[in-house]
Amino acid sequence: MNTRLNKSDYLVIIIVYAVTIIFNCFDYYRSENALIEYLIDIPLAAIFSFAIILIFMYWLIPSYVVKKKKYVHFVFFGLIILCFFGAIDFVSGYWTGNGDWSKFPKWYDFLLQSFFRLSDDAGFVFGILLAKKFYEGQAQFFNVQKQQKDNELKLLRSQIDPHFLFNNLNTLDALIDSDTIKAKEYINRLSLIYRYLIQTKDAEVMELSEEIAFAENYIFLIETRFGNDYNFKIKRETLLSDKFLPTGSIQTLLENVVKHNKADHNGPIDVVVAIEKQWLTVINTKSKIKSFEESFGTGLKNLKSRYKLLSDLEVQIINTDSKFKVSIPIVQLSNES
């Protein structure tokens, strides 16, 4: 769940606090509270409860619930935060209300009242935000799921695209007459690609090592077909085990390079696939000659949508006059007990 607050979340918070402040002012008026209590108690309670919400949404929940699944730590730190801000608010209210310090509550009563001091205010808004986030997440999930279903038919059709197969058969036909050994290798690589596409068509994620193996076979087809037009290099800067990518993501990135770039007189298109600890990056030089080759990938837009369900990180794209760089997060699946 994405716990970061958006514009509509802040609007909800403002509305709730505005209504709460109005009711508090009316209650203070009936109780004939002093002006200093209006000026300090009400704003301070709103500020502290808002601070509690920010701490929960930006630190406690992401760190101890979403990522680490350490619920005991979440409860422990949550109680400390509530007591800390509640204690300050209670002491402030005791002072503005001209309380008798000789009758100040004992430490255990003080802690108990400190805990409940802001629990209602922060808890009410917090509950509204969590419910809102939950339904927004559900709506996003169904939208992405629908988009994924819409793309499945396009993906399946493109994977068996007659144009793609025709081009490879033409390349194979030329190899049979000129280089029979390479022709056999070409057939083997082509069969491995189609086998992989068929076997993984229903998988949401695949092991990084499997995706890299697919990429190597796909690169072989490109280099055989286009000769020296493309210069590919795979840089492994981390171990590939226990790491995953959305199925077909590297296929999308490599295919995007070939689709939009064609080698010119300045030399081949240099393509580097860099595998780091948390990111896989494909960076290529750009040419002024554009290729109109049909794409059989899901596309960068669909890849971005898929990552919304798999990772808190987003696909990063940097497009300059000379280079095009796409970085996708490497997914590490956590084992839940």
Predicted local confidence at residue 208, as pLDDT: 94
* CA gap 291, 257 in Å, rounded: 9
* CA gap 29, 24 in Å, rounded: 8
DSSP calls for 163-204? HHHHHHHHHHHHHHHH-HHHHHHHHHHHHHHHHHHHHTTT-S
Measured at the alpha carbon of residue 134, what is the angle toward residues 130 and 138, in degrees to the nearest 5? Answer: 170
pLDDT higher than threshold 60 for residue 101: yes
* CA gap 31, 37 in Å, rounded: 11
12-55 residue pLDDT tens = 999 988 998 998 898 888 888 888 888 999 999 999 999 999 99
* CA gap 55, 78 in Å, rounded: 9
What is each CA distance from 37 to 45, 84, 98, 100, 256, in whole angstroms? 11, 20, 10, 16, 64
131-173 residue pLDDT tens = 888 888 788 777 776 666 666 545 544 554 566 677 788 888 8
183-224 residue pLDDT tens = 999 999 999 988 888 888 777 889 999 999 999 999 999 999
Strand partners, 45: none
Measured at the alpha carbon of residue 115, what is the angle toward residues 113 and 119, in degrees to the nearest 5? Answer: 110
Predicted local confidence at residue 139, as pLDDT: 80
Contact in structure between 329 and 284 (CB atoms under 8 Å):
no
HSE, side-chain direction, 13 A CA sphere, residue 291: 19
* CA gap 133, 9 in Å, rounded: 9
The model's pTM:
0.55
